Amino acid sequence: MILTALEFLGLIAFAASGALAAVRSRLDVFGVVVVGLTTALGGGVIRDVLLGITPPTTLRTWPYLAVCGGTALVVFVFHPQIAKLRRAVLLADALGLGVFATAGTTIALNAGATPYAACLIGMTTGIGGGAVRDLLLREIPLVLRKEIYAVAALAGAVLVVIGHSLRLPPGPVTVVAAAVVVGVRMLALWRRWNAPVAKGPETG
The residues, any chain, with a CB within 8 Å of residue 131's CB and separated by 6 or more, are 42, 141, 142, 143, 144
pLDDT tens digits, one per residue of 114-140: 999 999 999 999 999 999 999 999 988
pLDDT of residue 179: 93
d(CA 30, CA 178): 32
- The percent helix, strand, coil of the chain (3-state, each to 5) is 80, 0, 20
Whether the per-residue pLDDT at 32 is higher than 70: the answer is yes
pLDDT band for position 203 (cuts 50, 70, 90): very low
pLDDT of residue 158: 97
Exposure string over 123-154, b if 16+ CB within 10 A, otherwise e: bbbbbbbbbbbbebeeeebbbeeebbbbbbbb
d(CA 147, CA 157): 18
Q: Which of 33, 34, 142 is nearest to 90 (CA)?
A: 142
pLDDT band for position 3 (cuts 50, 70, 90): low
pLDDT tens digits, one per residue of 181-196: 999 999 988 888 877 7
d(CA 143, CA 26): 22
pLDDT of residue 200: 67
Domain extents in the chain: 1-191
pTM over 0.75: yes
**Residue 61 phi/psi, 5° resolution?**
-120, 115
Whether the per-residue pLDDT at 204 is higher than 50: the answer is no
